[in-house]
Structure 1
Amino acid sequence: MADDPAGAWREHVDLAALSRWMDRQGLGNGPIGDVRPLGGGTQNILLRFTRSDRDYVLRRPPAHPRPESNETMRREARVLAAIAGSGVPHPALIAACAEEEPLGVSFYLMEPVEGVNAGVALPPSHCTPKVQHAMGLAMVDAIATLGTLDPDAVGLAGFGKAEGFLERQVPRWTRQLGSYAGLDGWAGPDALPGRGDIAHWLEERRPPATAAGILHGDYHLSNVLFRPDSPDLAAAIDWELSTIGDPLLDLGWLLATWAGDDGGLPIVPVAPWVGFPKTGELIDHYATRSSRSVDHARWYAVLACYKLGIILEGSHARACAGLAERETGDHLHASAIRLFERALGWIG
């Protein structure tokens, strides 16, 4: 959507219908104006617009919604509402539409966040070693805080099944990978190196479960915004994989997508990378901010590589079938391979 100057988003967002829905919610009046597609992601459609001198961001499923897309929007809105006032930086929810009308899909509106996305571009103020080091620690602070929240106390009872969370992960995502076989043009799972070895290693070395908590679920540098005037986090964004389970997986996700201490490039390209913490520093900082043991941090990082790699491969498979942009799908396929190769390096 970021490369959409001709306004192809209009095929998927009926502004007149949205205006009528906003009227019923008491959200301003009159026409919607200054509509701008927002980039930074590869799947869902985001539009920033103005109505009655107030700015909004609309988030809805992609042009070709998946079977679970509407439920995903409902879950995202629910978790954003639940963590309001928690100390975890996030976009403030304004209103949500659980029904598939008036836009044909579920969607929600949130407050815009002014921030720096390191996966898109860094201003000079965020290109010094001191600032980047603080940015990395700020990312850890957010997930450590998120992991301390009591899901039931914030209204997320039933949001996810905590019992058996770790035991379900490898079988769940192995089945997910197999499900892509129904998409025409996909070469198959063998393109992901060492998938069987990684799955076996994870099952054999699974750590004991920690106390249940809230996960962001897709925590990396492209899914956070930093304050324009400091290294502090302005918001964690894109909560579509949020659930209840073992919050240490968020730490593993950060490690899986970070630059390797051996000089390996981060999965999310950031330039310049001049001062972000080493992975060991991220782990140590998490330990100072959380009561959870980080003794098995590498296991969570390998699981994150496995899970994220399979998710990205799904986008590639959809692109092969003509349900997503092929260039994006091929790029994500390359990232999936890198994640599996990283996991193989960690399991030795």
Structure 2
Amino acid sequence: MSPDHPPGLDPVRLRGLLDRERPGLVRGPLTGRLIEGGRSNLTYTVSDGASTWVVRRPPLGHVLATAHDMKREHRVISALHPTEVPVPRPVLLCEDEEVLGAPFYVMEFVEGTPYRTAEQLAPLGADRTRDAVLSLVDTLVGLHAVDPAEVGLADFGRPEGFLDRQLRRWGKQLDASRNRELAGVDELHATLGRRLPVSPAPAVVHGDFRLDNVLIGDGDRITAVLDWEMSTLGDPLTDLGLLVMYSIPLELPGSPISTTATAAGHPAPAELVERYAARSGRDVSAIAWYTAFAWFKLAVILEGIHYRYTLGQTVGGGFDRIGDLVPVFIEHGLTTLQEG
């Protein structure tokens, strides 16, 4: 396979479409490069030698269209681009599967670095790391301040009963991958159900908001929030709970789950919560529930990966250690609820 023609992307067909739909945009032959693979949506950079764009499409041979909804991703970044939320400028949505074999969208390329581990953050130093993470909180406040109706997203989700549906959904996911005893997981699920908080006014929820889903550019400012595939209208504190969870050091040597929480200068979870509360004006007194829910959700996701590993359905390294992490996440969830 030519490096100019990675699987799932045909630069000649793509250029033909762009020349028809956005005449004058592309000034030469396109080359493409896959920058993300795996079971999630595929991301490519394409360039004509002068300008660069990004293409997002579902995985090759995808089955669940709803889990890889290009129209939905394109819609949310199109709605948010005129706001202060940093997202790439959308260029084109193509639902014609004849072009690349699946629906896809094109957006402008944004300069910046995704930081996935504490080691990658180390060269920034403590002060710059702190500023980057605090700006992550400020960006989340900005996202949750957007009025969904004002940007055309009033029907982007079903916020009524959002937490109850989420809890039931992840409970079903757990049941689908049960093949061993997991101490405490049913207690965690049941306790979350008994203590379900009353949600604040709904907001646009990212669904996977963390440092490695944003790009950090010059001045350590966030240049783009990426990976909107789980976005919806719902309880904004679910985003905060997930961010808090990822900000708690796991201290598990050799863990296949990357975290930036141990980086020098990384603010403590309490500071992140206080900053969000001060800048958003929201009541965060139930943050322990949302953080425990994040631990539960990640435990379920990891158990699903472990289940597929036991069936021989995973490819790559590190999967043999995923199963050992699940009880740790369950314990963190239970402890968080007890302390909250």
Structure 2 length normalisation: TM-score? 0.87
Out of 16, 22, 28, the position equivalent to 1:20 is: 16
> C-alpha separation between the residues in 1 aligned to 2:97 and 2:310?
28
Which of 235, 241, 251 is 2:240 aligned to? 251
Which has the larger displacement, 5-14 or 134-143? Answer: 5-14
* Aligned residue among 130, 135, 139 for 1:138: 135
2:301 aligns to what?
Answer: 311
Residue of structure 2 equivalent to 1:166: 163
Write the deviation string for residues 34-91 of structure 1: whole angstroms up to 9, x where unpaired. x222149762211111137221111111234241357522211110001012111222
- Indicate how the Cα distance of structure 1 residues 195 and 100 shifts in structure 2: closer, same or farther if over 3 A, else same: farther
Report whether the alignment pairs 1:295 with 2:292: no
Alignment-derived partner of residue 153 in structure 2 = 156
CA RMSD of aligned residues (A): 2.9
Partner of 1:63: 60
Matched to 1:122, the amino acid is: Q
Contact preservation (8 Å) 1:70, 1:106: no
Matches within 5 A, 1:74-89: 74-89=71-86
Mapped to 2, the partners of 1:306 and 1:164 lie a distance apart of: 19
Report the CA distance between 1:136 and its aligned residue. Answer: 1.4
Q: Secondary structure at the match of 1:175?
A: helix
Distance 1:308 1:78, change over 3 A: farther
Alignment of 1:164-243 (within 5 A): 164-180=161-177, 188=178, 190=180, 192-227=182-217, 229-243=218-232
Comparing 98-107 with 146-155, greater Cα deviation is found at 98-107
CA contact (8 A) 1:60 1:73 kept: yes
When normalised by structure 1's length, the TM-score is 0.85
> Equivalent pairs: percent with the same residue?
34
1:322 Cα offset (Å)? 6.1
Residue 8 to residue 207, structure 1, CA distance change in 2 (3 Å): farther
Amino acid in the other structure paired with 1:343? G
Seen in structure 2, the aligned counterparts of structure 1 residues 119 and 302 have a Cα distance that, compared at 3 Å, is same
Contact 2:145 2:203 survives alignment (8 Å):
yes
How much does 1:289 deviate? 1.0
Contact between 1:214 and 1:247, CA under 8 Å: does it hold in 2? yes
Structure 1 alignment gaps of length 5 or more: 181-187
Do 1:70 and 1:100's aligned partners in 2 also have CA atoms closer than 8 Å?
no
Tell me the CA shift for residue 281 of structure 1: 0.2
> In 1, are the aligned partners of 2:122 and 2:263 still within 8 Å (CA)?
no
Deviation at 1:341, TM superposition (A): 3.3
Q: Which residue of 1 aligns with 2:102?
A: 105
Give, in whole Å, the separation in 2 of the partners of 1:331 and 1:112. 35
Q: Tell me by how many angstroms 1:123 deviates.
A: 6.3
- Runs of 5+ unmatched residues, structure 2: none
1:10 aligned counterpart, secondary structure: coil
